[in-house]
A and B are shown apart, each in its own frame.
Chain A
Amino acid sequence: GNSVTQMEGPVTLSEEAFLTINCTYTATGYPSLFWYVQYPGEGLQLLLKATKADDKGSNKGFEATYRKETTSFHLEKGSVQVSDSAVYFCALSFGTGNQFYFGTGTSLTVIP
């Protein structure tokens, strides 16, 4: 079957620290991979995406690389800010049917 596994939270970091949120997936084909972010009280927003192996998605200083050999799509940021405090969701999707499979979410709190 298809599924996404994310690292357990919550994660608490000091401002300017390095962030990694692990995400691995199981899929029956070759999915597209996504990271979504949910700020407090809001809906999910697309943060970045990658559609094939070795693609790197990037946005707002965040990066993730589609690694087919390790079935991973880890989210990284070199220097987090207080404004990055949110819940981060890893997800996969296949174009046909477009069903998304979301991970359980990882809560990040950045303290000054």
Chain B
Amino acid sequence: DTAVSQTPKYLVTQMGNDKSIKCEQNLGHDTMYWYKQDSKKFLKIMFSYNNKELIINETVPNRFSPKSPDKAHLNLHINSLELGDSAVYFCASSRSSGGRYNEQFFGPGTRLTVL
């Protein structure tokens, strides 16, 4: 069973389009994240949701809008795509119990290419 899954794995689109990336976790975790990884492998947190509520919202253009319909899903919608949005986007999840073992589990990534 896949713990954290993302669809699609690859996404190629034109500038100006709107696209969505879906993420699902079957680990029973209550916190989910979106990260952006650039071509130099630098990993930047974008958003974090805990029990469907936004708890981290880093400096990200408002063209990016996360949606969490339930604790197992966190989707990322991107409006008016730009060339600079090309990157690999990772979804992750974790338990937020306040214990010290709260490792994050990552999905396989979605490679977005904007032409």
Chain A residues, CB < 8 A from B103: 34, 46, 49
Q: Count the B residues whose beta carbon is within 8 Å of the partner chain — how many?
A: 29
Q: Which applies to chain B's interface (DSSP): helix, strand, loop or mixed?
A: loop
Contact residues on A (Cβ < 8 Å of other chain), bracket: 20 to 34
Bound form: Cα–Cα A42–B2 in Å: 13
Contact B108 A42 (CB under 8 A): yes
Contact B101 A32 (CB under 8 A): yes
Bound form: Cα–Cα A44–B4 in Å: 11
Bound form: Cα–Cα A36–B33 in Å: 16
Contact B42 A93 (CB under 8 A): no
Give the interface segment out of A16-24, A69-77, A95-103.
A95-103
Residue among A42, A43, A97 making CB contact with B96, cutoff 8 Å: A97
- Known contacts A42-B109, A43-B107, A43-B108; is A98 also within 8 Å of B42 by CB? no
B31 at the interface (CB under 8 A from A): yes
Query: CB within 8 Å of B: which residues of A?
Result: 32, 34, 36, 38, 42-46, 49, 51-52, 87, 89, 93, 95-100, 102, 104-105, 107
Chain A residues, CB < 8 A from B42: 104-105
Q: Which applies to chain A's interface (DSSP): helix, strand, loop or mixed?
A: strand
A32-B100, A52-B100 known; 15 new pairs, CB 8 Å cut-off, are: A36-B106, A38-B41, A42-B109, A43-B106, A43-B108, A44-B106, A51-B101, A93-B102, A95-B97, A95-B98, A95-B99, A97-B56, A98-B31, A99-B45, A99-B48
Q: Nearest Cβ distance between residue B60 and chain A, in whole angstroms?
A: 15
Bound form: Cα–Cα A51–B99 in Å: 10
Bound form: Cα–Cα A32–B98 in Å: 11
Contact B101 A99 (CB under 8 A): no
User: In this complex, what residue of B is CB-closest to A103?
Assistant: B43
Chain B residues, CB < 8 A from A97: 55-56, 96
